[in-house]
């Protein structure tokens, strides 16, 4: 980093210019979701050596951490753990000799897990922790062969964001600390291990060899929530010069077809925001229980198979995860209350990628669907839940996850783009990614950069008061721009006539509608329709049993509201097959509103539970507990 910038940053943080050496040197905002004390000592590198026992649902081995001591009086390393069984901790002295270290494991906290306190009076360069995971580790999902597409082999995968990394690796589990990593993973011979890292097993051919022994290296410094591992019967198909799809053999061809535009997406984003800095961009398609649409694990996005609609209509999820290679993986939120810096920026960049590769109509429609959802949510959400930068003290880190950081965050950036013009705003954003590359930052750091590099550079266009309103006030500023869509406007008219029964299903002429048009239509119908109209829609458009997961979700939500029981067997099958949280939990919530619905929900859940990720389970159980 150039000195002039450090001085500006140091001044902003209230440090004297004399103290400012490097951005990495400045103190890290206290993260309420970690016990780590990065101002005393920081982990700079991790080496993992893990074996997998599918019969016991356990990963076991050792994590070796390289330390950078920052406080010469510090004599303790505090790590985050959750349900880990620690068997031995050693530290390395100056002569390279390893000896046992004393440690204690605090009583677990429901939200944070257990602090692991290691006494290290000599401030060693490295410590090694031998440990095993718990079969119920929050960050791992173990699948029996029956829960995979192939039905022959078991599967395990991690999901570390936000704070579940600590359930499979003892770490400073805060996004404010970044480190490089290497790993050696031992698996049954017939299976493949993949990680969010460079695959080290030889040249390209050998990269894909199966011998039960896999090595990885992530040379760039990443935050802990981007550590990722999956092991299973995983095949590979190249999709471009620096991209491939990994998936069960049953799924890999369809996935490669659906994601064939990935190289185009990378080139587009590079043109906008500078070089792709992670060498490869591969995608791992998980079994249907994967709880998210996608997860931006660096070099290897994890994705739900529900994005494979067959017509690329849901690939914006991939554009989103790719976008994180800049917003999030390169410039990271320093703590979870700043998650909009990850997700809002990414949603904005996602829109730009979709616009460039699939056209403005597509990106506008996707944004309008999201904006409509946010408006609906804000109509009934308490003011405190409408804030872009919330106070998360004492709260679950994942409480920050709603439409707010995504849609309100990207809407804010769209507003800036609108006001300053694309050319200026693109240059600003590119500079921002460059300036903060491989750093973890706070909203306040973003605001200081915004002020210096955009607001003050083109004065009179956007005030600081407006910035503060976006960040800290509820609602959406009245002048926030919205794209217009002729097709959605036309649909508004058709829908109104349909609701008023002046038009039947056929008269809607929906055969040519895109996935987004169907989403918009179903989202804006009243929550309850009469059986005759439901039957009419279903007969003409075959919505019950649709393979498009986003359309299915909205149709079944409407079916529940309308007590359209004809759709329930297909809905049940859908809810048992997929575990993507945002697509199933709201259906349980809708069912739980009536006593009969709640009974049905409980029956469905009993069958679905073994296939759901621990996180989806938690959310469904919460929905079913409510009276």
- Which are the catalytic amino acids? 321, 406
Residue 294 is a binding residue for ligand BES (CB under 6 A): yes
Question: Nearest approach, Cβ of 582 to ligand BES (angstroms)?
Answer: 6
Tokens of 247: 């998936």
Question: Nearest approach, Cβ of 376 to Zn ion (angstroms)?
Answer: 21
User: What whole-number distance in Å separates Cα of residue 604 and Cα of residue 593?
Assistant: 15
Tokens of 48: 């993992």
- Give the binding range for ligand BES (CB under 6 A) out of 188-196, 290-298, 423-431, 595-603: 290-298
Task: Show contacts with Zn ion in window 325-344 (CB under 5 A).
Answer: 343
Q: Which is nearer to ligand BES, 322 or 429 (CB)?
A: 322
- Give the binding range for ligand BES (CB under 6 A) out of 14-22, 187-195, 286-294, 563-571: 286-294
The CA-based angle 563-568-570, given to 5 degrees, is 150
Q: Which is nearer to ligand BES, 162 or 332 (CB)?
A: 162
Residue 401 is a binding residue for ligand BES (CB under 6 A): yes
Residue 324 is a binding residue for ligand BES (CB under 6 A): yes
Question: Nearest approach, Cβ of 304 to ligand BES (angstroms)?
Answer: 7
Alpha helices in 76-186 (DSSP H): none
Q: Which is nearer to Zn ion, 319 or 549 (CB)?
A: 319
Question: Nearest approach, Cβ of 307 to ligand BES (angstroms)?
Answer: 9
Task: Show contacts with ligand BES in window 122-161 (CB under 6 A).
Answer: 161
Edge to edge, what strands does the sheet with 114-119 contain?
A: 76-81, 114-119, 103-105
User: What whole-number distance in Å separates Cα of residue 441 and Cα of residue 431?
Assistant: 15
Question: Nearest approach, Cβ of 475 to ligand BES (angstroms)?
Answer: 21
Q: Which is nearer to ligand BES, 220 or 398 (CB)?
A: 398
* Interface pattern 369-398 for ligand BES (x via CB under 6 A): -----------------------------x
- Residue 381 — φ and ψ, nearest 5°? -80, 140
Residues whose CB is less than 8 angstroms from the CB of residue 372 and which lie 6 or more positions away in sequence, other chains included: 520, 523, 524
Q: Where are the beta strands (DSSP E) in 251-299?
A: 282-285, 294-295
User: What whole-number distance in Å separates Cα of residue 441 and Cα of residue 444?
Assistant: 8
Residues whose CB is less than 8 angstroms from the CB of residue 407 and which lie 6 or more positions away in sequence, other chains included: 347, 370, 371, 373, 374
Question: Of the candidates 78, 295, 353, 559, which one interacts with ligand BES according to CB under 6 A?
Answer: 295
Residue 480 is a binding residue for ligand BES (CB under 6 A): no
Residues 468 and 56 sit within 8 Å (Cβ to Cβ): no
* Interface pattern 343-372 for Zn ion (x via CB under 5 A): x--x--------------------------
The CA-based angle 536-539-540, given to 5 degrees, is 90
Residue 366 is a binding residue for ligand BES (CB under 6 A): no
| Residue 330: count of CB within 10 angstroms of its CB | 22
Q: Which is nearer to ligand BES, 118 or 349 (CB)?
A: 349
Tokens of 6: 């450090």
Q: Which is nearer to ligand BES, 333 or 562 (CB)?
A: 333
User: What whole-number distance in Å separates Cα of residue 345 and Cα of residue 320?
Assistant: 10
Question: Of the candidates 570, 582, 602, 624, which one interacts with ligand BES according to CB under 6 A?
Answer: 582
Q: Taking every pair of C-alpha atoms in the chain, what is the biggest distance, in angstroms?
A: 85
Q: Which residues would be at the binding site for Zn ion (CB under 5 A)?
A: 343, 346
Binding site for ligand BES (CB under 6 A): 161-162, 292-296, 317, 320-321, 324, 343, 398, 401, 406, 582
């Amino acid at each position: 980093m150039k000195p002039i910038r450090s001085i500006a940053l140091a001044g902003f943080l209230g440090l004297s210019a004399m103290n400012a050496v490097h951005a990495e040197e400045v103190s890290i905002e206290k993260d309420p979701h970690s016990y780590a004390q990065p101002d005393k000592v920081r982990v700079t590198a991790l080496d993992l050596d893990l074996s997998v026992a599918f019969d016991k649902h356990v990963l076991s081995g050792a994590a070796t951490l390289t330390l950078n001591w920052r406080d010469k009086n510090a004599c303790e390393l505090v790590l985050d753990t959750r349900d880990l069984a620690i068997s031995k901790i050693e530290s390395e002295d100056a002569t390279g000799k390893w000896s046992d270290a004393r440690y204690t494991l605090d009583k677990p906290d429901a939200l944070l897990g257990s602090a692991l306190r290691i006494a290290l009076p000599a401030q060693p360069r490295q410590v090694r922790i031998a440990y095993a995971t718990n079969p119920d580790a929050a960050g791992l999902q173990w699948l029996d062969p029956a829960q995979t597409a192939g039905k022959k082999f078991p599967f395990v995968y991690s999901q570390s964001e936000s704070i579940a990394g600590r359930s499979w690796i003892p770490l400073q589990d805060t996004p404010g600390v970044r480190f490089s990593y290497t790993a050696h993973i031992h698996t049954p011979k017939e299976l493949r291990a993949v990680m969010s890292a460079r695959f080290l097993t030889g040249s390209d051919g050998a990269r894909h060899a199966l011998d039960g022994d896999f090595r990885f290296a992530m040379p760039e410094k990443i935050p802990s929530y981007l550590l990722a591992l999956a092991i299973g019967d995983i095949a590979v198909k190249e999709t471009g010069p620096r991209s491939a799809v990994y998936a069960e053999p049953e799924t890999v061809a369809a996935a490669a077809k659906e994601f064939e535009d990935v190289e185009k997406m990378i080139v587009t984003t590079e043109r906008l925001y500078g070089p792709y800095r992670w060498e490869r961009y591969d995608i791992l398609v998980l079994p249907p229980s994967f709880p998210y649409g996608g997860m931006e694990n660096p070099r290897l996005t994890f994705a739900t198979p529900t994005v494979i609609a067959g017509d690329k209509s849901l690939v914006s999820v991939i554009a989103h995860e790719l976008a994180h290679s800049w917003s999030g993986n390169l410039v990271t939120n320093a703590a979870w209350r700043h998650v909009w810096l990850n997700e809002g920026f990414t949603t904005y960049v996602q829109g730009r990628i979709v616009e460039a590769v699939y056209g403005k109509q597509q990106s506008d429609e996707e944004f309008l669907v999201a904006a409509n959802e946010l408006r609906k949510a804000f109509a009934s959400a308490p003011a405190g839940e409408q804030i872009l930068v919330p106070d998360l003290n004492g709260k679950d880190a994942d409480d920050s996850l709603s439409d707010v950081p995504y849609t309100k965050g990207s809407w804010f950036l769209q507003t800036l783009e609108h006001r300053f013009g694309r050319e200026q705003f693109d240059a600003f954003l590119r500079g921002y990614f460059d300036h903060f590359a491989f750093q973890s930052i706070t909203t306040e750091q973003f605001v200081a950069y915004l002020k210096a590099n955009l607001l003050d550079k083109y004065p009179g266009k956007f005030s600081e008061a407006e910035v503060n309103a976006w960040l800290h006030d509820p609602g959406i500023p009245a002048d926030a721009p919205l794209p217009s869509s002729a097709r959605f406007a036309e649909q508004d008219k058709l829908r109104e006539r349909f609701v008023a029964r002046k038009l039947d299903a056929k008269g809607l002429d929906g055969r040519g509608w895109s996935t987004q048009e169907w989403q918009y239509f179903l989202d804006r119908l009243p929550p309850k329709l009469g059986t005759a109209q439901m039957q009419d829609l279903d007969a003409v458009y075959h919505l019950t049993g649709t393979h498009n997961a986003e359309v299915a979700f909205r149709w079944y939500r409407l079916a529940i509201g309308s007590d359209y029981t004809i759709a329930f067997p297909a809905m049940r099958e859908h809810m048992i097959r997929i575990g993507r949280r945002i697509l199933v939990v709201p259906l349980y919530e809708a069912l739980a509103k009536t006593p009969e619905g709640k009974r049905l929900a409980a029956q469905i859940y009993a069958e679905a539970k073994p296939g759901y990720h621990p996180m989806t389970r938690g959310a469904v159980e919460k929905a079913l507990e409510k009276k």
